Chains A and B, each alone.
Chain A
């Protein structure tokens, strides 16, 4: 009885859909993707005759040749369709640098200006707003120190007004007004907490005390301490600068940072070639190219030495040293697209389908695509591939505050047993590669190629022998010594009753590692480490633990003795000051820092002090190399493996370069220079 009425209701819904799809056909937009039309066209028939799939296929096949022809008919600049995996959490560029410092916000929000910036693909620090090819030196100035930077003329905001020294001063004064902003601002614009020169012991009061505009094109930055390379230019020089004309009135009205962050930043002037025009929460974000971008048409040539040749209006400058080596990239600044649309896919598998089906051109993901998609990517001839080194590491950390992890021989012997290449190539099926240093090889300038893994290249038999030898040399003893049995390809008997040189017995140890649900690679790794430890007679249990539980146990200073070992990962920055931050004793996690192992080595700390004061890149690199080598020998961390960053994109896209540390995603998929055929 009600069946009929309900049926009508359903029909009405279907008709609505059909009507809407009919609409598509009536008004095809010039830039509409072929894929949209393919799905839209057969839809009315779908609803009318669901049991005739044969007919469905025909229009699809007919569309295929059209897909090839269409680009030729459309000479106009194209739409760049990108997929992202999580919705932006704010449209306010201030918030996006503070509490909302999430990669997804960074992808979609057009960038702000800075004095210097990283130049891909080498991550050379080159001038952006500054005029000097290399950052000017800091000089003593009264009680403190200061640096005076000349600015380039002709650099404009997206609204066409020039970017001046006043904008830089405004940015700093805003941060000062709110008594310091959090997140990235803390490092980009560290605020001097004290106008007097800061003492060396009191690191937290060190910072920038003033930023003044001497005139439109000269800015003076004052410090209350003598900053090393890590602060100037590597932090302050790269700090964002906001437009005073737009943000000034908003800041004036905002009593606290919260009010400032709540203001909408959609369409706010920025320093990129794009303006944000639309944000449909949960669905997409759209940026359109500027009619006039100040840097359009500039010519960049990047050499493998890191040097950059920059030509604007016929004048050529050279940045970052003398040109040498291969040309890694040679391109003209765009934009060559009319707009970029960022669609949100909450499921990565669905997003990959969207890519293979041609619904999007590029997927932005800090982790790249999963290795399992290799076959699917290869099976799609319309996809190009970029595989890059990831600037990061998965590592095993020892709590060096506790016995036996406090003993270097213990750390070394266990590390010796870990066959990283076997794990990466065999167990993980070639989806990961082993790493040995704290700076990954992809970060070419800072990478120390001399570092090797403990017991590198040894067979299982040799590893057992080496580990036993390390223990013996340090005076450790067993009741039953572990022996490699070549016949059974196993350690028989396993070690038993291992005691330290002073007769200390080893308490049961726990290895915290992410569970197989969170990261199967690290979970599996932890099980193998457990096995190798038991071969040596170390009572180690791998415990699959929730990510937040591990974070809670190792990072806040609550109980520094609350864990034995753990496996986690880091994502890193091109400037590798993390090498010192992770291990210097003043950064002990018990004091709120990132030194979770509680590693304290006076020699290492001395290097860190030198690094703080280093003024040149060469000097800093030498110190990083030394520090990296110390850690690789002393092993508070055992670096385990890294996964390659796989990116696949439509072969309609042409990038000036695809080999870059952390992949194309790290440079926002190069919206400013990509061309679409």
Chain B
């Protein structure tokens, strides 16, 4: 979403679970289904485990999941005082100070100031003479024992923001992915099952959504609504669910539709709804879960970019942390103020990469042709 990127558009033709037994008994249906699912889960986990990249991604996700929970623990145990560590309203009232010496010409900007600094910083008194020292409060402050990743230009704890940002990313990514999958599978299956006008309409709608330049349209929508995180998640979900994902899942559903068990169900008098929800969708689901992973990646990236551009109205997010560094001019002071940009930038990258890697790992399950012989 962020820039010119092409998500791999692959042709998935395989039926992931093999042919399913035809089941007529509605009572036992769920039980058998559950048993099968449990069995296939175990089997799939076995396959997934072999994919090193997938496991690697899963480890990263687990790490961030723990990070996302930590603030609750810290606040609950009193380890963190909300007045100081709250990611939005927290404020370090006693930032560390640095002794600066007034000099004629600066040679070491970390310990010296010159007359230009008096102009630049309202807190430095203009009575300082050459050779005088001054205790300058540091905000943003570098990492220390109180703030493990330092504080930002508004005196707030960076680590706390990072953890809350992880929470926001998970919330956004997973919500967007669920919306995508629900819409994508339903639309794809319906288009495949009914064909004709329904299919033409849904597929043209999908084409329409693919036409739209993603970031620009998100900015438009962001200007119409007071854009919050869950709005963004739903919009991304809709764009992707009715758009690209629907097309891929439709082709998968088409392949399932011609399988004998669908005919059997139809002959046995199954309604369209029954066939779509009990036969088509369950068989399309694995592939859609794969696309779910890619949606999470796209959603996290979109949020970061929109926040970075200052279009989104969120409290805390990684993109917003970068935005603050950008608007306050710290973005390119990579060495001096690394804690303002590198943790947030790296987090966006790591978490979205992790979901992508898990997606790749799942690809091996969904797409048996890719498995090692």
Contact = CB atoms under 8 A, between A and B. Distances in A.
A–B touching in complex (CB under 8 Å): yes
22 contacts: A349-B329, A352-B329, A374-B117, A375-B109, A375-B337, A378-B120, A379-B336, A381-B106, A383-B116, A384-B116, A385-B116, A426-B93, A427-B155, A429-B154, A429-B155, A430-B121, A515-B314, A517-B307, A517-B309, A520-B154, A520-B328, A546-B223
A517 B311 contact: yes
A640 to B, nearest CB: 15
Interface stretch (A141-149, A365-373, A445-453): A365-373
A429 to B, nearest CB: 4
Contact of A428 (B114, B137, B154, B332): B154
Contact of A431 (B117, B153, B222): B153
Contacts of B311: 517, 546
A378 B329 contact: no
A433 B123 CA distance: 10
B122 A430 contact: yes
Given A516-B323, A516-B324, A546-B222, 6 more contacts: A371-B328, A375-B109, A386-B119, A516-B320, A544-B226, A549-B223
A352 B312 contact: no
Contacts of A430: 121-123, 139
Interface in B284-339: 307, 309-315, 320, 323-333, 336-337
B329 A372 contact: yes
A433 B122 contact: yes
B219 to A, nearest CB: 10
Given A385-B120, A387-B120, A520-B324, A429 B153 contact: yes
A646 interface: yes
A110 interface: no
A517 B117 contact: no
A203 B173 CA distance: 57
Contact of A377 (B93, B116, B226, B327): B116
B137 to A, nearest CB: 8
B154 A372 contact: no
Interface string A426-444: 1111110100000000000
Interface size class of A (residues with CB under 8 A): 35 or more
B328 A426 contact: no
Interface in B149-165: 153-155
A548 B223 contact: yes
A427 B84 CA distance: 12
A543 B320 CA distance: 17
Contacts of B325: 372
B226 A545 contact: yes
Nearest to B109: A379
Contacts of B105: 381
A646 B223 CA distance: 30
A546 B226 contact: yes
Interface in A348-371: 348-350, 352-353, 369-371
Interface string A400-427: 0000000000000000000000001111
A394 to B, nearest CB: 15
A543 B226 contact: yes
B327 A520 contact: yes
Contacts of A528: 89
A644 interface: yes
B227 interface: yes
A527 interface: yes
Given A425-B123, A517-B313, A545-B313, A527 B88 contact: yes
A374 B117 CA distance: 8
B91 A427 contact: yes
Top 6 A-B residue pairs of the complex, sorted by shortest distance between their CB atoms: A370-B329, A517-B310, A372-B329, A372-B328, A429-B139, A373-B329
Contacts of B326: 349
Contact of B153 (A369, A372, A383, A546): A372
Nearest to A490: B83
Contacts, number: 130
Contacts of B155: 426-427, 429
Given A381-B105, A544-B313, A546-B222, A369 B329 contact: yes
Nearest to B136: A430
Main secondary structure of the interface of B (DSSP, over half): loop
Contacts of B1: none
A378 B223 contact: no
A519 B154 CA distance: 12
Nearest to A549: B226
Given A375-B109, A516-B315, A524 B154 contact: yes
A246 interface: no
Contacts of B121: 374, 430
A548 B226 CA distance: 10
A655 interface: no
B68 interface: no
Contacts of A178: none
A515 B123 contact: no
B280 interface: no
A539 B337 CA distance: 39
Contact of A385 (B119, B312, B315): B119
Contact of B89 (A348, A387, A527, A544): A527
B91 A646 contact: no
A578 to B, nearest CB: 25
A320 to B, nearest CB: 28
B1 to A, nearest CB: 17
Contacts of B315: 516
A317 interface: no
B313 A515 contact: yes
Given A372-B153, A516-B320, A543-B226, A378 B333 contact: no
Contact of B328 (A370, A377, A387, A546): A370
A515 B310 CA distance: 8
A349 B331 contact: yes
A618 B165 CA distance: 56
Contacts of A531: 89
B113 interface: yes
Interface in B82-117: 88-89, 91, 93, 105-106, 109, 113-114, 116-117
B310 to A, nearest CB: 3
A350 B326 CA distance: 11
Given A349-B332, A370-B327, A425 B116 contact: no
Contacts of A549: 223, 226
A378 B106 contact: yes
Given A370-B327, A433-B122, A427 B154 contact: yes
B125 to A, nearest CB: 12
A386 B118 CA distance: 11
A370 B89 CA distance: 22
A546 B223 CA distance: 7
A423 to B, nearest CB: 11
A376 interface: yes
A433 B331 CA distance: 23
B212 to A, nearest CB: 20
Contacts of A548: 223
A521 to B, nearest CB: 8
A372 B313 contact: no
A353 B332 contact: yes
A370 B120 CA distance: 11
Nearest to B124: A430
Contacts of A369: 329
Contacts of A545: 226, 313
Contacts of A384: 116
Nearest to A428: B154
